[in-house]
Amino acid sequence: MTVLLRLVAALVLAGSILCGLQTQARANDPATSTSPGLIRLSADQVEFYYDRFLIEADGNVKVNLGALQVQGDTFSMDLRLHRFLVAGNVTITNGAQTIHGAAMSDFLSFSRVYFVPVTDQPDRWTYLDNDFAHPQKGREMPGDAFFFPDLGGARPYIRSQSAVISPNNYVTFRPASVDTGLAYLPSPVYVLNFSTNPNLAQNSLSGANFDAPYPFAGNEHSISAVHFRYDNYNKTYFSFEQHFASDKAYAVFSVNPGTRPSKFWNLLMSDRLGPETQVQTYTQLHTFQSGLSMPVESSQYSNLTLTQGLSRSYLQLSANFYNQSLLGEPALLYFQDPSHTFNAAHPVNLQLTLTSFDERIGHLPLYERARIGGVYVHDIYGIQGYAAPSTGQCSGDPNNPNYCNPSGTPFGVGQNLWQNLIGLTLYTPSLKLGNNAFLNAVVDKQRIWGAPHYVDTTDSTVSASKLYGTHAVTYLQYDVRNVSDVYGHNQDLAYPSYVPVVNGTTYPGFAAFRGLATYRTLTGGFAFTPNPDFALAVFARKHTDFPASIPFYYGQPPYDITGDVRIRVAPHTMLDISRTYYFNFANIRWSPYFQIQILP
């Protein structure tokens, strides 16, 4: 039943989002749309310059704006200024009307066309609201109406023979040759989306050291892209991501990595149902399979979050659904591949939280944010709920109060668990300490309680920073995290003394751990950005934790220092290189790999 409810909820939300998005996508398909907002450009050579967002074209230039046709020798469009220029042997055709001239400039945002006609006497004409039957002759024009940019020998990012331009949204080049830094890579089509709609910027792919997207289809409401990626674990692989977006909703689907056996199928969706109501979902399906064959392992996680704005607060319902194993017969699974295990657990977690807006406390430079809520957890296979009798006897029946959880800890479980939540956040805005020096502090305290225990979490952070001009900053930050899992007189039963042995080394200090942990981190850093093409950052950390860290098992190295350098290697590409030094922690000096990322 719970699986059916999840599917119904996901399908209802997907239907409400995609129905509207598909309609908009069809209306704006550059291959079929006749929208007058589209500019269809063809020429012997069409070039796009990424660093300046310029489209330049030369030779047999033809511009189609629906009813308006323009021909000329050369074309230039500044996508950021939302205007284009055609010059040299210009012919404008508007229905049955044909006009000849030396140059024309169309300021799309203002519906004004400036034109230099070929007449006996020098003249200049202005057309208002695309009314070519009534030119405004001799009217004053902007000084840069016919300005061609100086490219200075810059290298174009894309070369093509045609482009479909949706001003302020996207450009489709067909065919296209894309600059890789070493050579131009030909492709049948390339879609460059530069829309300011933040819903198109949603991402469902995990991080990677290198990611080169190839957007092969799209418009102002959608992007379809294949990603060539590299990371230290999966090495080289391909992934796919599909975006749909409107002003109020989005849906993003991806499979990553798409060419490795361990695949993650992700779906993110969001819809603003009203000015104060928003619903979001995230679903991840994991499969281990060769290509698209029958998986030998599969699991699923889904989250649905509903947010409702109230007066000076908001109410949020979060539902989490887990299926540890979606495949059926365990015996068949083991027969296929014994290395992939079966776990029948599929808990459901519901949390309802009321959170206040940030409020200033009197006239103090201090702000607070409070929250209160409840948590409900259900799993037919049992959830830790309360302490077993002092005898410590365990039952194999999940419905028996003396049932032991899978780790063997003698604590009773039931199928349902109810908990309460309360929390408070206090923070200061940036307090100026002196000349370009600032102090920030934040403390967050939370308690979740319900039989047989409660969990207290306290996070505290204080930081000081100093600016040196506009190019450098230093900072010092101290973080403390306290976590207490309290069972009262059953504390030793919940956290019995345990001495781990890892790689033949015994760690007796861990035996003192009884469910109360403290993690302290002192961080000092420096960042230097002399110009947009170069950035250097260095930060060092000291970790003082209880229980103390155990290499390859638990916790952080006591000391580490990380350096990061970001360099622009092409007008549209940044190279980011970082690495960490661990001061011989468990015979590890440097991190195993350089972290190398290629950033657009």
Q: Which two tokens stand for residue 210?
A: 């290198």
For residue 506, count CB atoms less than 10 angstroms from its CB and return exposed for 0-12, middle for 13-18, buried for 19 or more: exposed
pLDDT at 484: 96
Nearest to 317 by CA among 353, 349, 347, 293: 353
Return the DSSP state at 395.
Answer: B
Query: Residue 335 domain-assigned?
Result: no
Q: For residue 174, what is the enclosing H or E element? A: none
Report which listed range, 26-40, 80-94, 141-155, is most confident: 80-94
300's CB contacts (< 8 A; 6+ apart) are 283, 284, 285, 286, 321, 322, 323, 326
In a domain, 371, yes or no: no
Q: In 3D, which of 370, 471, 493 has the Cα closest to residue 423? A: 370
Looking at residue 414, its pLDDT comes to 67
Asked if residue 145 is part of any domain, the answer here is yes
Are the C-beta atoms of 109 and 129 separated by less than 8 Å? no
How many Å apart are CA 80 and CA 85, to the nearest integer?
Answer: 14
What are the start-end ranges of the E strands in 81-209? 83-94, 97-107, 112-117, 125-128, 136-137, 158-166, 170-173, 176-179, 184-187, 190-193
Kindly report which listed range (8-22, 233-247, 586-600) carries the lowest average pLDDT score. Answer: 8-22
User: Is the model's pLDDT at 418 over the cut of 50?
Assistant: yes
pLDDT recorded at residue 340: 61
Rounded to an integer, what is the distance from CA 152 to the centroid of its chain? 36
Query: Which SS3 state, helix, strand or coil, does residue 105 take?
Result: strand
Q: Is the pTM of this model over 0.75?
A: yes
Does residue 175 have a cis bond before it (omega within 30 degrees)? yes
Q: Which among 308, 385, 303 has a CA at the least distance from the CA of 350?
A: 303
Comparing CA positions, the residue from 431, 426, 490, 499 lying closest to residue 464 is 431
**Tell me, what's the pLDDT at 57?**
96
User: What whole-number percentage of the chain has pLDDT above 90?
Assistant: 55
Residue 512's CB is within 10 A of a number of other CB atoms, namely 11
Predicted local distance difference test score (pLDDT) of residue 339: 61
Residue 173 contacts residue 160 (beta carbons within 8 Å): yes
How far CA 321 is from CA of 102, 170, 326, in Å, comes to 66, 38, 13
pLDDT of residue 22: 46
Residue 96: closest CA among 42, 132, 136: 132
How many domains, the chain? Answer: 1
Over 80: is that where the pLDDT of 11 sits? no
Q: Is residue 68 part of a domain?
A: yes
- Return d(Cα 106, Cα 36) in angstroms, integer: 14
Q: Residue 179 falls within a domain, yes or no? A: yes
How do residues 306-340 score in pLDDT, each as one tens digit? Answer: 999 999 999 999 999 998 888 765 544 444 555 66
SS3 281: strand
Instruction: Determine the residue type at 178.
Output: V
Alpha-carbon torsion 495, 497, 503, 506, what sign? Answer: positive
pLDDT number for residue 509: 87
User: Does a structural domain hold residue 126?
Assistant: yes
DSSP letters, 491-560, are HHHHS-----EETTEE-GGGGG-SSEEEEEEEEEEEEEEEETTEEEEEEEEEEEEESPPBTTTBS--SEE
Residue where the block lists tokens 């989250």:
303
Judge contact between 157 and 171, C-beta under 8 A: no
What span, in angstroms and rounded, lies between the C-alpha atoms of 476 and 465?
Answer: 6
Highest mean pLDDT among 155-159, 165-169, 536-540: 536-540
Q: What is the DSSP letter of 344?
A: -
* Amino acid at residue number 380: I
Which of residues 17 and 594 earns the better pLDDT score?
594
CA-derived radius of gyration, the chain: 31
Domain with residue 165: its CATH number is: 2.60.450.10
Whole-number pLDDT of residue 2: 41
Q: Where is average pLDDT lowest: 84-98, 168-182, 290-304, 407-421?
A: 407-421
Q: What is the pLDDT of residue 314?
A: 96
| Residue 524 domain flag | no
Q: How far apart are CA 153 and CA 155, in angstroms?
A: 7
Which pair of structure tokens corresponds to residue 484?
A: 């207490």
For the stretch 428-441, pLDDT in tens is: 999 998 889 999 99
Q: How confident is the model at residue 30 (pLDDT cuts 50, 70, 90)?
A: very low
What are the pLDDT digits (tens) for 245-256? 999 999 999 999
pLDDT digits (tens, 9 = 90+) for 262-272: 999 999 999 99
Domain that holds residue 142: 39-190
Answer for the pair 456, 472: CB distance below 8 angstroms, yes or no: no
pLDDT band at 123 (very low <50, low <70, confident <90, very high): confident
- Beta strands 297-310 and 277-288 are antiparallel
Q: What is the pLDDT of residue 480?
A: 98
369-413 pLDDT, tens digit per residue, is 999 999 998 887 776 544 444 444 444 444 444 444 444 444 555
What is the C-alpha separation between 367 and 509, in angstroms, rounded? 40
Nearest to 582 by CA among 561, 563, 598, 567: 561
Cα separation, 175 vs 156, whole angstroms: 15
Q: Determine the pLDDT at residue 24.
A: 45
Most confident of 80-84, 345-349, 366-370: 366-370
The Cα–Cα gap between 47 and 54 comes to 8
Gap between the Cα atoms of 388 and 378, Å rounded: 19
Q: Is residue 104 part of a domain?
A: yes
pLDDT at 550 over 80: yes
Q: Where are the beta strands (DSSP E) in 275-410?
A: 277-288, 297-310, 313-323, 348-356, 359-360, 367-387
What is d(CA 117, CA 506) in angstroms, rounded to the nearest whole number? 90
- The answer, yes or no, to whether the previous bond of 257 is cis (omega within 30 of 0) is yes
- Please state which of the ranges 36-45, 362-371, 513-522 shows the lowest mean pLDDT: 36-45
pLDDT computed for residue 138 by the predictor: 84
Instruction: Give tens-digit pLDDT for 159-208.
Output: 999 999 998 899 999 999 998 877 899 999 999 998 889 999 999 998 88
